[in-house]
A and B are shown apart, each in its own frame.
Chain A
């Protein structure tokens, strides 16, 4: 069992820069800013959605998403947030714009004129679920086996190089089935 953890990651993780995933959509206009938020559906409890709002992450030289601050947690009515998400997905030409919210969905959000993050109807928003889930899965795989590199783990590393000639990589099976 100790073999599993024996390979230390010796390399430096390199300089940080803002994570820039490539969400699907025909009309995606997307340039993250450090003040933006990375909003995750952490729970759906009765009629409420619990959102965890982390500051928009950076990505290091080997593809780790780096979160440095503790998040804000907000609770909204599911129906209100769902309507706003559906409208924004449709506006960006994202697939399955009316897909029901699920725990683990992730959105890039910009506060607009709601600096306290209390009214999601005033937020700019984009669904980045597929990329974010792929990155979380890769972080787990690499933690299990530090000898593995993030690229080997098929990580979202979209901001590190030119787009693949084959187009966007497919997300893992589960995420693909639900988000595309």
Chain B
């Protein structure tokens, strides 16, 4: 692994993230929480015009940090506190992803409408505790989605990219490596289905202004190979059929995303160059510990792939900078040049506006407080 280069402290401005999100009800905020070696994410969806409030999606709970973030967002009025956690996802049953899932489900209680996991069983205690909590919560809708499932929450669309059904059908054996069971998803806002026609019935292509996330779980090469097959990029040509497809899909690569939560903490099998060239993210976010003695993440190979996708140099003989922040690769283990932990990575995305990156300055063992949101650090766009 190579330790991320420190980001210049003067690239940040102290700002109020709560105020920012209140002023921008149509903005989506994606939190990759700093839980060290593990994963925990929260997506704060834009305000639903029907429900007239925001909802949240929780993805993984290696630690119980999502609880403190949701409590802080609720205290500040960004979530109503009732019927506002549309979905909780356990991408796969590794300890570093579900270690505190039972506590998160119990802590959120009846606020949670729906729970997804890939349907892969794993005999660790955390899995039993998670299943017991799901069993107890009989009002919870519980599903094992596979690739291709689409779900809409307000105006936000979620498409399940993996696991492919090819892999799902082999789960009950040792035939699928646990990381390759991961649920990975693409979120888009506003979802194409609600914006493809205007009042006169004309097709309106707003897909180029939608904002999107790909959340990679711990999917590895095998799983991504099925994703690349299941979600082909139907490139524009002059044929009539191609024009029809383009009208239906917006001629957008179904894997493209503004933000990619890098799969498997940037392990050497978590990403490949073909995948990264399809996603073409504006920013990539890696969840990893500061020195990862247990897992040795991020891996040099994955870091080079992320850099090459953003700044192609391979074969040209050009020297590449390892200042990953210059090509918008961010790590929860990042520090600034003053040595301060930068912690949780927040990307704020809104249709038609330039994305923003914020940092909460938290360490893995500390919860997220209202103060951390109120005194967040916004990375200046350069």
Residues of A within 8 A of B (CB): 1-2, 4-9, 38, 40, 42-43, 45-46, 48, 50, 52, 54, 57, 64-67, 70-71, 73, 75, 102-104, 106, 129, 132-133, 135-137, 139-140, 142-144, 146, 172-175, 177-178
Given known pairs A43-B94, A174-B174, the reply for A143 and B134 (CB within 8 Å) is: yes
Q: How far is the CB of A161 from chain B (nearest CB, A)?
A: 21
Given known pairs A71-B124, A137-B172, the reply for A9 and B131 (CB within 8 Å) is: no
Interface of A is mostly: mixed
Q: Contact: A67 with B178, CB < 8 Å?
A: no
Q: Contact: A50 with B294, CB < 8 Å?
A: yes
Of the 9-residue stretches B137-145, B234-242, B313-321, B353-361, which lies at the interface with chain A? B137-145
Q: Contact: B123 with A73, CB < 8 Å?
A: no
Q: List 28 A-B contacts (CB under 8 A).
A: A1-B141, A5-B138, A5-B140, A5-B141, A7-B138, A40-B124, A42-B122, A43-B178, A50-B294, A54-B124, A54-B125, A71-B95, A71-B124, A71-B125, A75-B294, A103-B178, A132-B123, A135-B128, A137-B121, A140-B131, A143-B131, A144-B142, A172-B172, A173-B172, A174-B173, A174-B175, A177-B174, A178-B173
Report the interface size for chain B: residues with CB under 8 A from the other chain: 36
Q: Is residue B295 contacting chain A, with contact meaning CB distance below 8 A? A: yes
Q: Contact: A52 with B142, CB < 8 Å?
A: no
Q: Contact: B174 with A102, CB < 8 Å?
A: yes
Q: Contact: A38 with B131, CB < 8 Å?
A: no
Q: How far is the CB of B121 from chain A (nearest CB, A)?
A: 5
Q: Contact: B294 with A103, CB < 8 Å?
A: no
- Across the interface, name the chain A residue whose C-beta is closest to B293: A75
Interface of B is mostly: loop
Q: Is residue B136 contacting chain A, with contact meaning CB distance below 8 A? A: yes
Q: How far is the CB of A51 from chain B (nearest CB, A)?
A: 10
